[in-house]
């Protein structure tokens, strides 16, 4: 550790995209529009679920919480990335970097757990429809939400408590669009091989275990839907396909980033953009545009607002 000349790092440099100014402007406009659509779409979903009397089922309660997590996850990284596209010196303070990593893993871990809870909700709705309301009661739903936040908090704290006091006194360039644990840990002035393995085990295994649980549950659900020929199950299949799409697009980049060899993380900027910018927009698009009940509830609320004015 080289502290003799006082070169203690107080900020990091985010390398971002290596592109000309013309392409940077294109990225700025594109990502700004996507972020605005993400915030608006998820906020609209939350307001509709909260205010509509026709969306009182457990699925929409969980969907509203998922929209909140998506909006928070996008807000942690995207505004900073958008601002950096117009600046030559893309810096972030060391504590700003730590905060970014803390909230990314908090919201990410909570969302993974909540997606598992949504899969359980679909399992009960399709496989045990007569007992759906009894099983998916308010106590269980509140328990799912508390559990998701608890797992997210434990997930991020277990990593950040080992990272926050690392000494940084050498290289300070992060070859990505935001701070995340793998690249930041590599900049520490001490041997971090054990910590690197722990990060892979923590983030990678959490992602992989949740994804495998979801894969098994949706396989069972698809098999159940296929065995039944009732016309009402076509609607269940449509809803189920929307869930599977969201799960695949959310977990795919996450597993690839953390389950892949540690040194190759720096080459995954495209996956980082997809995970933090595009994925949070998918939920309002998939659940809103494909869900007729949600569309009808939005129209009804809009009509009520127009009538009241």
Residue 306 has pLDDT above 60, yes or no: yes
Q: What is the reported pLDDT for 274?
A: 79
pLDDT averaged over every residue in the chain:
83
DSSP string spanning 185-208? HTTSSS--HHHHHHHIIIIIHHHH
Q: What is the reported pLDDT for 113?
A: 94
Q: Which of 157-171, 196-210, 232-246, 271-285 has the lowest mean pLDDT?
A: 232-246
Q: What is the mean pLDDT of residues 246-261?
A: 70
Question: Tokens in use for 276?
Answer: 């933090």
State the DSSP H helix or E strand holding residue 114, giving kind and residue range, or none if neither: helix 94-127
DSSP state of 267: G
Q: What is the reported pLDDT for 4?
A: 42
pTM above 0.85, yes or no: yes
Contact 171, 181 (CB under 8 A): no
Alpha helix (H) residue ranges in 136-278: 138-163, 181-185, 193-199, 205-227, 233-259, 269-273
Question: Tokens in use for 265?
Answer: 């993380």
DSSP state of 162: H
Contact 94, 167 (CB under 8 A): no
Contact 113, 148 (CB under 8 A): yes
| Confidence label for 64 from pLDDT (cuts 50, 70 and 90) | very high
Q: What angle do CA 268, 156, 190 make, to 5 degrees?
A: 70
Question: Tokens in use for 216?
Answer: 């098994």
Contact 54, 291 (CB under 8 A): no
Give the residue from 223, 279, 296, 293 showing the smallest Cα distance to 59. 293
| The dihedral sign for the CA sequence 95, 99, 104, 110 | positive
Give the residue from 227, 279, 228 showing the smallest Cα distance to 249. 279
Contact 68, 42 (CB under 8 A): yes
Residue 266 has pLDDT above 90, yes or no: no
Beta strands in 43-141 (DSSP E): 91-93
- Tell the residue number behind the tokens 């389950």, with chain if given: 259
Q: What distance lies between CA 147 and its chain's CA centroid?
A: 16
Alpha helix (H) residue ranges in 12-57: 21-51
Contact 86, 29 (CB under 8 A): no
Residues contacting residue 290 through CB under 8 Å, at least 6 positions apart? 238, 242
């Amino acid at each position: 550790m080289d502290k003799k000349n006082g070169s203690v790092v107080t900020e990091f440099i985010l390398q971002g995209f290596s592109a000309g100014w013309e392409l940077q402007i294109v990225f700025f406009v594109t990502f700004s529009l996507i972020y605005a659509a993400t915030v608006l779409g998820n906020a609209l979903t939350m307001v509709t679920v909260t205010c509509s009397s026709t969306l009182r089922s457990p699925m929409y309660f969980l969907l509203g919480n998922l929209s909140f997590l998506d909006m928070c996850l996008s807000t942690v990284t995207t505004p900073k990335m958008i601002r950096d596209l117009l600046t030559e010196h893309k810096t972030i303070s060391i504590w700003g970097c730590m905060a970014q990593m803390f909230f990314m893993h908090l919201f990410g871990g909570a969302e993974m757990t909540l997606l598992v809870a949504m899969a359980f909700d679909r399992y009960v709705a399709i496989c045990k429809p007569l007992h759906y309301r009894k099983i998916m009661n308010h106590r269980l739903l509140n328990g799912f939400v508390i559990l998701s936040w608890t797992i997210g908090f434990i997930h991020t704290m277990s990593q950040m408590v080992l990272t926050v006091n690392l000494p940084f006194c050498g290289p300070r360039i992060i070859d990505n669009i935001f701070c995340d644990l793998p690249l930041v840990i590599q900049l520490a002035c001490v041997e971090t091989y054990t910590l690197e393995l722990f990060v892979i085990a923590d983030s990678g295994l959490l992602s992989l275990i949740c994804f495998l649980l979801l894969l098994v549950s949706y396989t069972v659900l698809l098999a159940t839907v296929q065995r039944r020929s009732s016309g009402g199950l076509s609607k269940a299949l449509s809803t189920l396909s929307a869930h599977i799409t969201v799960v695949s697009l959310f977990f795919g980049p996450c597993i690839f980033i953390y389950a892949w060899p540690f040194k190759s993380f720096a080459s995954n900027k495209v996956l980082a953009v997809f995970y933090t910018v595009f994925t949070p927009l998918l939920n309002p698009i998939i659940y809103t545009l494909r869900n007729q009940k949600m569309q009808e509830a939005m129209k009804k609320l809009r009509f009520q607002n127009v009538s009241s004015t």
